[in-house]
């Protein structure tokens, strides 16, 4: 592996840290720690652009490895910004703040804790998940015969990875759009929480979380593109971590804790795959 490989994540982390400090200061002003969620996708855009900027020459392979996370990150950031801005702090963060206050922390102390645990925590996750970007970019030039530098070209793995990424992109984008339409259609519902309508059509008929599934698939696609470069396979912990987060931590598991209390959603769970799409079971 190139001796200067650590310059790529190192410089990316410094730029990312500066952005997180600025974002945290903004959160203090608006009293909303949940703006970090909007920044999540954009954090990967920063890593990709910094790594691409550092490359001595911009090859087609490097442009591809940069473009895939940038397109994903910008779409997700814009989607979350339109959905979340203007609605106040997310209830999850409010609950975290209230628990901290019960422990005797002042609001100022809570904000400081939020910086260390939430903002820097998400920054660390961004750097780990984005490993295919900085490893693939750093290794896109390697020592060939007689130590002559050889550039990685767009080969079979990069093509397959791009196709996998595109499938994931469609799942996430279409799933988000279908969810947005469903929420808009049912925004005036004022009945009991247990009887709220459940989205079970479109992609949501085949998986309870098409957007999370698509997100995971995209990162496996980016990983395959990174594998076109020497030692790119080392970055496999990136898509594994992203998939784990989406299934077990901040994605599916967190969302369904409350949803499963609704009888209609329980019926939906019995019929529909929790992650990987498949034909629904018969009721």
Tell me the domain boundaries of the chain. 7-271
Mean pLDDT of the chain: 91
Q: What is the mean pLDDT of residues 177-186?
A: 93
**Residue 207 to residue 213: CA distance in whole angstroms:** 8
Q: What is the mean pLDDT of residues 254-268?
A: 84
> Where does residue 105 fall: left (phi above 0), alpha (psi -120 to 50 degrees), or beta otherwise?
beta
Nearest CA to 44 out of 136, 125, 126 is that of: 126
Do 44 and 77 contact (CB within 8 A), yes or no?
A: no
Overall residue count recorded for the chain in this entry? 283
Q: What's residue 56's pLDDT? A: 84
Asked if residue 243 has pLDDT above 50, the reply is: yes
**Residue 43 to residue 48: CA distance in whole angstroms:** 9
Using 50, 70 and 90 to split pLDDT, how confident is the model at 253? confident
Using 50, 70 and 90 to split pLDDT, how confident is the model at 146? low
Using 50, 70 and 90 to split pLDDT, how confident is the model at 148? low
**Residue 240 to residue 227: CA distance in whole angstroms:** 15
Do 252 and 246 contact (CB within 8 A), yes or no?
A: yes
C-alpha dihedral, 132 to 137 to 140 to 146, nearest 10°? -110
pLDDT digits (tens, 9 = 90+) for 35-60: 999 999 999 999 999 999 998 888 99
Find the DSSP H helices in the chain: 7-30, 35-54, 60-84, 91-102, 107-114, 120-129, 131-138, 156-185, 210-226, 237-244, 252-259, 263-271
Least confident of 47-56, 71-80, 99-108, 205-214: 99-108
Find the DSSP H helices in 85-209: 91-102, 107-114, 120-129, 131-138, 156-185
Using 50, 70 and 90 to split pLDDT, how confident is the model at 264? confident
Q: What's residue 254's pLDDT? A: 82
3-state secondary structure of 150: strand
Q: Rounded to the nearest 5 degrees, what angle is found at the Cα of 56, between the Cα atoms of 55 and 57?
A: 90
Asked if residue 173 has pLDDT above 90, the reply is: yes
Q: What is the mean pLDDT of residues 92-118?
A: 87
Do 51 and 66 contact (CB within 8 A), yes or no?
A: yes
Residue 143: strand pairing partners: 149
Q: What is the mean pLDDT of residues 149-177?
A: 95
Choice between 125 and 186, residue whose per-residue pLDDT is larger: 125
Q: What's residue 195's pLDDT? A: 80
Asked if residue 75 has pLDDT above 60, the reply is: yes
**Residue 131 to residue 151: CA distance in whole angstroms:** 19
Which residues are CB-neighbours of 131 under 8 A, at least 6 positions away? 9, 234, 235, 237, 238
Q: What's residue 66's pLDDT? A: 97
Q: What is the mean pLDDT of residues 16-36?
A: 94
Q: What's residue 111's pLDDT? A: 86
Q: What's residue 147's pLDDT? A: 54
Do 256 and 166 contact (CB within 8 A), yes or no?
A: no
Q: What's residue 283's pLDDT? A: 62
Q: What's residue 259's pLDDT? A: 84
Asked if residue 1 has pLDDT above 50, the reply is: no
Q: What's residue 92's pLDDT? A: 84
**Residue 222 to residue 32: CA distance in whole angstroms:** 32
Using 50, 70 and 90 to split pLDDT, how confident is the model at 132? very high
Q: What's residue 216's pLDDT? A: 97
Q: What is the mean pLDDT of residues 240-267?
A: 88
């Amino acid at each position: 592996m190139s001796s200067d490989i650590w310059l790529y994540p190192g410089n990316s982390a410094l730029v990312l840290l500066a952005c997180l400090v600025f974002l945290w200061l903004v959160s203090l002003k608006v009293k909303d720690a949940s703006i970090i969620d909007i920044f999540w996708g954009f954090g990967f855009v920063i890593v990709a652009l910094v790594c691409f900027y550092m490359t001595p020459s911009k090859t087609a392979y490097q442009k591809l490895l940069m473009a895939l996370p940038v397109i994903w990150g910008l779409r997700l950031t814009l989607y979350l910004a339109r959905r979340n801005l203007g609605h106040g702090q997310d209830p999850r963060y409010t609950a975290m703040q209230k628990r901290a206050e019960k422990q005797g922390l002042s609001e100022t102390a809570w904000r400081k804790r939020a910086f260390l645990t939430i903002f820097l925590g998400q920054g660390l996750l961004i750097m780990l998940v984005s490993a295919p970007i900085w490893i693939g970019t750093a290794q896109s030039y390697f020592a060939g015969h007689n130590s002559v530098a050889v550039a990685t070209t767009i080969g079979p793995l990069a093509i397959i990875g791009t196709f996998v990424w595109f499938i994931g992109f469609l799942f996430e984008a279409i799933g988000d759009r279908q969810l947005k339409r469903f929420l808009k259609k049912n925004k005036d519902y004022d009945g009991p929480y247990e009887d709220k309508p459940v989205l079970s059509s479109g992609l949501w008929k085949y998986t309870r979380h098409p957007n999370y599934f698509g997100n995971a698939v995209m990162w496996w696609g980016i990983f395959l593109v990174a594998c076109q470069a020497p030692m790119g396979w080392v970055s496999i912990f990136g898509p594994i971590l992203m998939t784990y987060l989406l299934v077990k931590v901040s994605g599916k598991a967190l969302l369904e804790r409350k949803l499963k209390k609704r009888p209609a959603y329980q019926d939906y769970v019995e019929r529909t795959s929790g992650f990987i799409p498949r034909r629904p079971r018969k009721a």
